[in-house]
Amino acid sequence: MHNHWLRESGVRGAYVPFMVKPWEAEQAFSSLKKTTISGVNVTLPLKTAAFKAADETTDDADRIGAANCLYVRRGKLIAHNTDLEGFSGPLRQLRNQTDFKSMTALVVGAGGAARAVIAALIGMGLPEIILVNRTDHKAERLVSQVGLPSFYALPWANRKLAVKRAGLIINASAAGMSGHPALDMSLKDAPKTTLIYDLIYTPEVTPLIAEANARGLETLGGLNMLIAQARPSFQLFYGELAPSSDPSDILRRALLTGQR
């Protein structure tokens, strides 16, 4: 995607993969200041190490305590997180702020992706956010760390009740990803106006999205977030806005063939 945008915009640059061992990650990230690399995206399990390695952190990185983006400015390494913008951007294209002010969200998962989702939802002003996770104590721990009355956990056994209340359901877990079991949660009792947002993009149509489509519910897939979180990274790295054209087909082909 980045290389496609570079070619399309005529910017001189390259986006290439680097393999970093977890136990060497902080040192590797700190060394970026001594190179001509303008920035890097960071994936699991190195987002916390990226946050710790930085000289400065942005507000979005601070909200999550992790960074998926590192860039160099005036000799300093800055940690940022574009997941909040990447998650909320596609949502704002489908719903307006008034909708969010009266919407109950159900978030599935209690890992790093869920943290970004919850921070974004709080920032968007949702009055009620419910968290469920297959391991109840992980959901309860995350809720206690955030400490907001409008954000609470329900036991996994009670997820059916949460589905009934939700105007927005977000899968921020690995359930449904290629090689993983499908999410064990039915949409049978979801209101007809509920929006289903699955952050997984491999496969593009997850079992959750397939069920939502069959029930006539509106959906957002992980490809939307993948593109939306990449745009601010591109601007930070190259100093230009990413082209406005939709790179979805480029991504689909790359995901199928393993190309970069």
Residues with a catalytic annotation lie at 47
Cα dihedral value 66, 72, 73, 78, nearest 10: 10
Cβ count near 221 (within 10 Å):
21
Tokens linked to 133 = 């996770």
Cα dihedral value 6, 12, 16, 21, nearest 10: -130
Q: Which residues contact 141 (CB under 8 A, 6 or more apart)?
A: 110
Q: Which residues contact 65 (CB under 8 A, 6 or more apart)?
A: 48, 51, 115
